[in-house]
Amino acid sequence: MKHACTAALTLSLITACGDDPAAEETGQDEVAGTETETETETGSTESGSSSESTEASATESTETESSESTGSETGTEDSESGETGDPGCQGDPLICEQGTVCDVITGDCVPADTECVLAGPSVECGDLSCGPGTVCNDEGGCIAVAPCGAVSCEGDLCWGAQCICDRPINCETASVEDLNGVFSTDIFDLEFADDCTAWMVTLRSGTDFVRSMTPGGELETWDGVANLNMGEIKVLKALNPQYPAPPIVDDVLAPDHTPAQTHGGDDNFGQVAISYTCCPTCGCFVDPPQGVARLLPNDPVPLPIVLPAVATQGFSGPFNNTAADAGPMGLTWGDDLRLYVGNANANGDFDTVDLVDESQELLTSFGSRVTASAPLTAVHLLVALETGEVLRFNTQILESTPVIDFEIGVTSMSHDAFTGMVYVSLSDLSVLELDPFTGETVEFEVMPNLGRVAVSPEGKLWWVPAKHVVGNLPLENWDLPTTF
C-alpha cells in the first residue's frame, strides 16, 4: 500500500506532507477567462486554521472568477503589495531562485521539500496558462481543481486559490459493524454523501432495494420497481475540498435555469440517483422500462425513472457475470445538475438527462460499452470503457481525450474531493490512484475479491464486494492521505 506522501497530484504538482499546513476558505469550481474581479476573502476549514502567510497571499492575489468561460478576456491587474511591499511569485514563478519553487498557496519561493507546497508547471489554454490548482476547460479558461476552490489570475497566468493542505473531516460514517449488518445485504454498489450518510443498491433475485445509513446507524430502505435489478448508486457531492455538509433535501432543483446552474449549490448536495439494469435474457423487463431513477424519499413513487433505457449486455464485462455486466452503467452526476449514464440505448452510447427541462439527450457514442464514470470538474467527466480505456469527456464541447488504457476491465471509479485523484478498481482486483489530467497512476491496494470502491468524506476508501458474484464477504476500508 502506498503512503500519503506518494500521491501524484493533478498536473504533477510538487507537493510535500506537513502537520501544520496553511488552509484557505474552500469554494466551488471557478472558471477564469471571461470576467475579472478582486477578492480578498480568507478563511479556514474546520480541520485547520489559515496561516498568516496564506491570509496575506489571499489578500494580495487578484482573483478571477466566472461561471462561464470564453477565454476572450483575462485578468490584467497586478497583485497588490503585502506588508513587505513585495508581490507574491504566483504571477511570475520564474522569479524564484534555482533550488526553490513558487508555492501558489502562499506566494512565496520555497525549497521544493517544504511542507505543504503547491507548485508545478503551467498548461497552455488558449491565451491563458493554467498553473497549479487549475486545469484548462478546453475552451480557453482555467478551472479550479482540488485542493483549490477558486482561480486567481495575473495577466495571462492563472493559478489555484482558496487551497487547503489538510483533508477537511466534518463527519464520520457509521461503524464497520453497522455497515456490515442489514445495510449491506446483497450489496452491489456503495456511495457516501458529503454528510457521511452511506447509500447502497442491491443486485438480487426479486425486488431490489436502495438503503441508506446515517453516521448514527439509522437505516432506511426503499423498494425498487418490480423485478428490475439495480446497478449503481450516485450522490451529488462537492468536487472541491469539502464544506460542512448541508442537510439532505427531498427534491430540490436548480432555482433558475437561465443561465444553467453550473455548480450544484449547497442546497442540492445529497441528491441520489440509481440505475435499473437488465440483461436481454434475464426476463426482468417491465413497463416502465429500466434506466436511471432519481430518489424522492417522500414521494408516493420514490424511485421514478427519469432516463429510460433498453436492455444491453456486456460481452467481456469487468464482473464476468451476465446480470452484473448488463444494462446502463457508468452513472454519475455532473456538476451541472445533470445525470449522465452509458449504454442507455446501445453499448457505448452516453446519454444525459436534464432534471430541470426533463429532457434526455444522446451526447456521444464511444467505441465500446461504458462500465464506469466519475465527475472531475464543472465540465469534465472521467469515463471507462469495457476495453479498459479511460477517457476524459468534456460535457460542454462533447469531446473526449484519452487518459490511459488499462487493457483490463474497470469495475468502478471514485473521485477524491480533497486530492482530485480518482481511485480505480480493476477486474484483476487491483486498486490504482489515477491522476485524471496526466494519466499517472500509483498502486494503492488489492481488493479481497471482485467489487467496487468508494471514497468517504472521513478520508477512507471503502471496498464493497459484488455479493451477487463473489458471495457474502464483508465491506473493508483503507486510509487515504490526510495531507499532501
User: Beta partners for 391?
Assistant: 383, 402
Same domain, 313 and 458: yes
Q: Say what the pLDDT of residue 467 is.
A: 97
Same domain, 144 and 192: no
Same domain, 181 and 143: no
How is residue 83 written as a grid cell?
Answer: 506588508
Residue 203 lies inside a defined structural domain of this protein: yes
Residue 171 lies inside a defined structural domain of this protein: no
The DSSP symbol for 10 reads G
Same domain, 122 and 143: yes
Same domain, 248 and 99: no
Same domain, 339 and 391: yes
How is residue 32 written as a grid cell?
Answer: 477564469
Same domain, 347 and 451: yes
DSSP string, 134-200: EEE-SSS-EEE-TTEEEEEEETTEEEEEEE-SBPP----PPPHHHHTTGGGTTEEEEEE-TT--EEE
Same domain, 201 and 307: yes
Tell me how far apart the alpha carbons of residues 246 and 240 are, in angstroms, rounded to a whole number: 15
Contact 225, 303 (CB under 8 A): yes
Residue 94 lies inside a defined structural domain of this protein: yes
pLDDT tens-digit series, residues 211-247: 999 999 999 999 987 778 999 999 999 888 765 443 4
Same domain, 110 and 228: no
pLDDT tens-digit series, residues 403-451: 999 999 999 999 999 999 999 999 999 999 999 999 999 999 999 999 9
H or E stretch at 469 = helix 467-470
Q: What's the domain range around 69?
A: 1-166
Task: Assign residue 120 a region (left: φ > 0; alpha: ψ between -120 and 50; beta: otherwise).
Answer: left
Same domain, 158 and 111: yes
CATH number at residue 224: 2.120.10.30
pLDDT tens-digit series, residues 135-163: 999 999 999 999 998 899 999 999 999 89
For residue 57, the SS3 value is: helix
Residue 425 lies inside a defined structural domain of this protein: yes
Q: Say what the pLDDT of residue 173 is.
A: 97
Q: What is the pTM of this model?
A: 0.81
Mean pLDDT (the chain) is 81
Contact 424, 432 (CB under 8 A): yes
Q: Say what the pLDDT of residue 431 is.
A: 98
Contact 328, 342 (CB under 8 A): yes
Q: Say what the pLDDT of residue 267 is.
A: 59
Domain boundary pick from 140, 166, 192: 166
Contact 411, 426 (CB under 8 A): yes
Same domain, 278 and 422: yes
Residues in the chain, pLDDT under 70: 1-87, 242-267, 285-288
Same domain, 181 and 160: no
Query: Which of 400, 360, 405, 407 has the alpha carbon at shortest distance from 382?
Result: 400
Please give the C-alpha separations between residue 434 and each of 232, 318, 324, 329, in angstroms, as whole numbers: 21, 18, 24, 20
For residue 323, the SS3 value is: coil
